[in-house]
Amino acid sequence: MEAYKQEFIEFMIDCNVLKFGDFVTKSGRKTPFFVNTGFYRTGAQLRRLGQYYAKAIESKFGLDFDVLFGPAYKGIPLTVAATMAISEEYGKDIRYCSNRKEVKDHGDKGILLGSPIQDGDKVVIIEDVTTAGTSIQETLPIIRAQGDVKPVGLVVSVDRMERGQGTKSALKEIEETYGLETTAIVTMAEVVEHLYNKEYKGKIIIDDTLKAAIDAYYEQYGAQ
């Protein structure tokens, strides 16, 4: 596993973003782990988060795209942080764009904030985490309504590696249904590999009991 992936896993724990316990996902699944990017709350944290996203984006898609789109609301700080990191790390000035939940009828009118999306633009979508692939159904029509644009990919922070609407993973379903390439900074398999029965700051994060709960979750919801 690459060093930056290990660093990112520990970074999520330090920020209280990656949690273990009893949770319910947006799709209604009871889960022993949860990722909440709303707990990135400081400038320093967002700067580092943007750097991890930038690394994942460059590794998968390169930098031959025009706009990074972050769906409201959590995608707004993600797209800002990542475009800043791409500029700093790779010297490429990517435009950022997000949507509003409500259309604005005065001043900077419309449903978008940040850069407009123009005919011919290649767009990469950035999200926090995709569990069942439902949010992309709302995001793509917004992007495609802006003109003759090409959505090329989706990047998330963590691939939960569970099935979407069918038996395949949510990210695989997105690839096949919408023709988008997908990637994640880390997968849950990498999280478990890095933390299982290993001390981090004097504590075992994933012990045998938690590992058994994670395994049971994937027996029920894991992608095939």
* C-beta separation of 15 from 45 below 8 A: yes
Active site residue 194: no
CA distance 21 to 18: 10
Residue tagged active-site, from 106, 109, 201, 203: 106
Show the tokens assigned to 74.
Answer: 């959590």
CA distance 20 to 31: 9
CA dihedral sign, ordered 171, 177, 178, 181: positive
* C-beta separation of 84 from 29 below 8 A: no
Residue tagged active-site, from 26, 30, 104, 150: 104
Could you check whether the bond before residue 73 is cis, i.e. omega within 30 degrees of 0?
yes
Contacts of 39 (CB under 8 A, 6+ apart): 15, 16, 17
| Count of H-run helices and E-run strands, the chain | 7, 11
Query: Which residues are known to be catalytic?
Result: 104, 106
